Each structure stands twice: as C-alpha cells, then as structure tokens.
A = this chain, B = another copy of it.
Amino acid sequence: MNQKSVCLLALLFLSTLFSGSLRAEDGYKLWLQYDQVQDATKLQAYRQTVNELVVQGSSPTLTAVQKELQMGLQGLLGKPVPASKQANQQNILVAGTPASSALIKALNLDAKLKTVGDEGYLLLTANQNGKKQTVIAANTDIGVLYGSFHFLRLLQTHQDISNLSVASAPKIKHRVLNHWDNLDRTVERGYAGFSLWDWHRLPGYIDQRYIDYARANASIGINGTVLTNVNANALVLTEDYLKKVAALADAFRPYGLKVYLTARFSAPIEIGGLKTADPLDPQVQAWWNKKSDEIYSHIPDFGGFLVKANSEGQPGPQNYGRNHADGANMLADAVAGKGGIVMWRAFVYSEDEPDDRAKQAYNEFKPLDGKFRDNVLVQVKNGAIDFQPREPFHPLFGAMPKTPLMMEFQITQEYLGQGTTLAYLSPMYKETLEADTYAEGKGSTVAKVVDGTLHNYQQTGIAGVANIGNDRNWTGHLFGQSNWYAFGRLAWNHALSSEEIAEEWVKMTFTNDNKFVAPVKDMMLTSHEAVVNYMTPLGLHHIMGWSHHYGPGPWIKDKHRADWTSVYYHKADEKGIGFDRTKSGSNAVSQYFPPVAKTYGNIKKVPEKYLLWFHHVPWDYKVNSGRTLWNELAYRYSAGVDSVRQMQKTWDSLQGKVDEERFQHVKQLLAVQEQEAEWWRDACLLYFQTFSKRPIPADLEKPAHTLDYYMSLDPKFVPGI
C-alpha cells in the first residue's frame, strides 16, 4: 500500500468517525442526507462520471439547481465538484433548458422534451464533441430542478448512472400539501410540534427552515402548499398577513412551490365590513374580486383558494340559500383571470343528523356535476367518513365526470396513532388509488379519475393534509417522514409501488446496507395493517376517543350529534356488530356503480376488510378463516399487537446499523406504540364483549385491566387541537 493510499484511507476513516459521532442525527435533513457513498466501487464510478458541473443560466431556480447539485455531490462523492459555466472537462454533468443552456440546446432534445411537458425532465447520458456528458434537461427551470433531485436520488440509492435514459413527467397537475395550521401556530390534528409558520417574525425574518421545507417538497415534486387551516381565519386575507404570505411565497418560488390560502366564506363580513357573504350579491362578488387583485399584487403567482364551507360549523353559501357551486364559482371568478384555482372541499355534512353520514357528500355534490367553473376542483377525501385507519373509496370518485375531483389524503395521523405510531401510509393511499370505481367499466380506477384520464379533466389535483410541524425532525415520528415522501412520490407517479417508495426512502434516509433496508422495508409495509388490526379491524370505524381522537372510545355515545359518537358507527348489539349500509340499511352501497355496489352489498362477496363497514354481522357468523366473527375480531386485535411487537424485535436487531440517536428515537416510540396497541385491543374487546357475551379465545392474551378502568382514562392536553 503506497503512501497515497494510506492517506486516502486515513481520510476515509476520519470522515467516518466524524459523521458517526459528532454530527447530530436528529432527522432534520430528511431524505436529503447526502452522506458519502459507502460502496467503494459505486463511489469511484460516480466520481468518474461527474468531474464537473455545468449549470448555465442564473434564474433563482437554476441557482437552486446548482446549489443543490453542488451540495449533494460534495456530500455523496466526498469531495467538491467544480462548477463552471462552460464544459471544460471530460465527464461533465450538465443541467438546464434549451433556453438557458447552449450545451442543452446543442443536444437537440426537442422531440424528447415535448413528451415531458412543463414540469417533466430527461436524464440522459450523451456525447458532445467527443465529451461524455450526463444531462439533466427540461423545458422549464423547475423541470431541471426536479430532474436534479431525481439524479441525486439515483446516487443516494446506488443506481447505475453510466447510461441514463429517463423521461419523467407528473401524472397530476396540482400536487399540494394542506397545512391545517392556525395563525396562533397551533395545528389542528398536528402531532409534530407547532406550525412552521412564524407569523410574528414574518415578513422580516425568513427562517432557513422555510427554504429547506421548499427544497424537501421540490425533491419529491410537490408544487403547492395551502398555508392555513381549512377551519379558516379571515385575518390571513388582511394586508398585514398578505405581506407575510408574500414573503413565504418569495422564499418558496425558486423551488416551484406555489402558495394557496384558505378562504373563510364569511370574510366579506368579518374583515370587509359587509352585511352579507351571499355569493350572488354583487357587493360580495366585488369584494372578493378586489381582494383577489390585492392578493395578486402581493403574490403574482398565487395559487388560489381552498375552501371548507357549510361543514362542521364553517360558514358557506348554504347560509344564504345558495349551493356549493354558487359559492365556488364566485371565488373561481375572482381568481380566474390570474390563473388561480379554487379547491372546494366535499367534506361536508349538514346540520341535521343524517341516517348515514357516509352518504352526504355524494348527495350534495353529485347533482352539481357540470355546474362548476373550469378552474374549480372538488376536493374529496379518500373515504366518505373521515380519514379512518381504513375506508372503502369515496363513492364520489367516478360519479362526477364533468367536474375535476381532487384527492384529499391525510399524511398526518389523526386516527392513526398520531405522533407515536409507526404507520407507513403508502399502502393505504395505493388501496384507494387502485380501487376500481367501474364508472366507465372495469379498470376505471380512482387513480384514473384523479389523474384526469378517465373523464378527461383539464385540471387535476391531489392534496395531502400535512404532518409537518416545528419538531426538529419535521414530522414528530421519524417514520412520519416516509409518509410525506410517499405522498409526494405518488402525487408525481401513482404507479410507483409502496415497496419501491419505501426502499428509496430507507436508503436515502438511513443507509443502503441491505441488512438494514430489507427488514425496515418489511416493517413499513406491514405497519399500516397492524394499526388497522389493533384499532379498527374488519371494517370497524370511528370508535376513537372523544374530541382529541386519541386512543379507543367505542363506548362514546349520547353526544349532541349522533354521528359524532362511536355507537352510531359500530352499532354493536347482542346480535352482532357493524353498520348495515345495504338495501336493508342505509343503502349507501347504492352510491357506488353497480358492480361495486353488488360486491360491497353482498356479505359473501364484500372484501373482509370492509365487512363491518357495510354489514351488521352476527357474532357467530363464520368469516373466511373459519372462525366466528367474535373470535376473528379478538384474533385481529391481538394480531395487531403482535405485529407491533414484531416491529420492535426487528428494530432492536438493527442497533448499530443506524446512528444511536435515531435508533433510540424509533425504539422508544415503538415501545409507546406497543402500550397503545394493547390499550386499543383490551379496551375494544372488553367493550364489545359486553354485547357478544362470548369469551376471548383462550390462547390470546387477556386484558390487563377492567373495562371500567379503560373507560376512566381521560388523556389531557393531547396535541392536535
């Protein structure tokens, strides 16, 4: 070994030591770790391929491109890569558009670039004047940025980059985070600390975190963010706050992230001094038009409004005898001239108690199909109740061919264990996206509705209710990051598998060591089902604690609205359990297209995971396993707890393969999750046993406490107001 090799080895050794012990691994860097590639062969290959970086052009977005590539490559390659405005060397990495870069223009990529649209990109290996080039090309600067993150991801996940030929474009146009953040920095259903938006110090103080937030979103293709809670405060539309919003928009703009706001429907009264907010009143329309002008004067690329109206006490057009289309269209007209859109939520339910809340959105919105302006999207939650651990797809999907329907998923974990639960949600998203509505015959998946291909929507969109707060690791639970990541990746390309996404995320976030990647991926892929099992197996839903929705509360009843109680949904009695939504019951199944309605409505054909969602089932009914329903319920609850314990075993076996700080973080939270899983299992089984009058199977763990004990638990100050 010559002296040079010794020197290099010493260098590698030292840099490992430093990265191992001195650097705080608190999760702040998300999946953008850019640690040096540990595989020596790959490292050498990457270093050879990228000798020099050439980003021509100097727009803010191209500046961000250069900065990100320099930072990423320096980290991944363990040495700085010189950046230049001209190709001086062999083996350069060139990134740009034909307009900004002579090098890109010279490659004559017009035909290929046509296929990737405004946001897509090409990653190519090319030769120019005998020089080998790796090329990130796009029609727009933001396309170049998206391509750059893709390129870095290839290195982060140890892919071959010697002969690239990638073309990528998003399947959905508006890929948007919904922050349910209040102006006092509390976050409704937020479990990762408090709101990122430090309104008090805006517009003067731009926290580096805002930029890192935008970077993270750009890295997965998210291109919009609604800053404020759907339970809206009109103050955000006043000039003081618009200046603050504009400062955030300025910080986000280089990363292609558009800003949206929630519009409180009664704002014309509350901050405008009008007597009404009637959408057909000319004064009201004029007020919104003027307000829109004002907003666009501060934020020229303002995205538009998200509106929750006539739902859970929020004001809306129905207060004035108008319908949702009247309300949405008024706002749509106000922003149409500036390219804005209105995302009008279908999560509504009337003041009157319904026989089945699951039917309301469909009943209110389907008749309005075709009545909305072109720049309105109706935003529909994945299921008809409310972000339950598992729901069948919402019957509106496929039912409004003339109205763009936008998907609303939750990334935060309102009913999914909040901040202490490891639940990788990609399988849940995919379950909905791949569900077949049969709207235009077999193969009419929800994904095709949402991406517009089924009904030729001109606008398409997908929203995720953000799980992001000011915790140092952004999402409270480190694995919550995987849900932010998965949402973005699926919003760009819903055809990706949950497994692919998990693998990418684990490699980028932790390590490429397959002894770590494989078991953690397995853990993630089973984690959502584990939570469903110990919370709401077999189609149970809405049986959580009162108000804060933390922990089990199947006994909740006698509240001022029946449809806010648990007994309304599980309908357990001495005969059985479950909500009859067939013809003999609420007939909610009839809202689905006939092949679906037929399957869901038939107790023999309905997928077992939705059994109690659609049917009231006798305790002794034999399910697929051959067990009685009661025994199956007991086994499912127990299996959920067992799965958590299996996750604990898996994680414990990985100590030393990941830095100690993140190892301990997950280990501790898994222990908390085990306790919570036991709590759910024991509380629910004891409670349902008061109806079933049957014993818990002898081979299963017995509850540690009495039902009275579980009913007496009353957690205080649960986060997520």
Contacts and interface: CB of A to CB of B under 8 A. Distances in A.
Interface of A: 3-4, 7, 10-11, 14-15, 17-18, 21-24, 26, 28-29, 34, 71, 74-75, 79-80, 183-185, 193-194, 199-201, 204-206, 208-209, 235, 240, 419-420, 470-472, 661, 664-665, 668-669, 671-672, 675, 715-719
A104 B671 CA distance: 41
Contacts of A185: 194, 717, 719
A222 B189 CA distance: 36
Contact of A472 (B472, B715, B718): B472
Contacts of A14: 11, 15, 79
A5 to B, nearest CB: 11
Contacts of A11: 7, 10-11, 14
15 contacts: A15-B15, A17-B80, A185-B717, A193-B193, A193-B194, A199-B717, A204-B420, A204-B671, A204-B672, A205-B420, A205-B672, A206-B668, A208-B661, A235-B716, A470-B471
A644 to B, nearest CB: 13
Nearest to A184: B717
A374 to B, nearest CB: 36
A240 B718 CA distance: 13
Given A11-B11, A204-B672, A240-B716, 11 more contacts: A3-B3, A7-B10, A10-B11, A15-B15, A21-B71, A21-B74, A28-B472, A199-B717, A200-B715, A204-B671, A470-B470
Nearest to A194: B194
Nearest to A35: B22
Contacts of A718: 200
Contact of A419 (B28, B200, B206): B200
A201 B420 contact: yes
A34 B18 CA distance: 12
Contact of A7 (B7, B29, B74, B664): B7
B21 A200 contact: no
A208 B419 contact: no
Given A14-B11, A204-B668, A205-B669, A74 B193 contact: no
A442 B193 CA distance: 52
Given A10-B11, A209-B472, A22 B71 contact: yes
Contacts of A15: 14-15, 18
A185 B209 CA distance: 21
Contacts of A4: 3, 7
Given A11-B10, A80-B17, A419-B201, A183 B716 contact: yes
Contacts of A716: 183, 235, 240
Contacts of A24: 28-29, 208
Nearest to A550: B200
A413 B451 CA distance: 51
B22 A204 contact: no
B22 A75 contact: yes
A74 B22 contact: yes
Nearest to A70: B21
A17 B665 CA distance: 30
Given A71-B22, A80-B17, A184-B717, A201 B10 contact: no
B71 A208 contact: no
Nearest to A17: B80
Contacts of A661: 208
Nearest to A193: B470
Contacts of A205: 420, 668-669, 672
Contacts of A715: 200
A606 B669 CA distance: 60
Nearest to A22: B75
Top 3 closest pairs, chain A to chain B, by CB: A7-B7, A204-B672, A194-B194
Contacts of A471: 470
A409 to B, nearest CB: 24
Contacts of A23: 23
A664 B251 CA distance: 14
Contacts of A664: 208
A80 to B, nearest CB: 6
Contacts of A665: 208
A717 B200 contact: yes
Contact of A183 (B74, B194, B204, B717): B717
A240 B713 CA distance: 10
A80 B669 CA distance: 32
A665 B471 CA distance: 19
Contacts of A80: 17
A71 B420 CA distance: 30
Contacts of A21: 71, 74
A664 B22 CA distance: 25
Contacts of A26: 28, 208
B675 A204 contact: yes
A208 B184 CA distance: 27
Nearest to A209: B472
Nearest to A668: B205
Nearest to A2: B3
A669 B208 CA distance: 13
A675 B204 CA distance: 10
A343 to B, nearest CB: 25
Contacts of A29: 24
A24 B23 CA distance: 10
A64 to B, nearest CB: 15
Nearest to A420: B201
A579 to B, nearest CB: 31
A68 to B, nearest CB: 12
Most buried by B among A21, A199, A716, A718: A716
Contacts of A71: 21-22
Nearest to A235: B716
Contacts of A201: 419-420, 669, 672
A346 B206 CA distance: 40
A184 B18 CA distance: 38
A208 B663 CA distance: 11
A71 B17 CA distance: 11
A661 B206 CA distance: 11
Nearest to A718: B200
Contacts of A28: 24, 26, 472
Nearest to A671: B204
Nearest to A548: B200
Contacts of A668: 204-206
A310 to B, nearest CB: 26
A209 B185 CA distance: 21
Contacts of A717: 183-185, 199-200
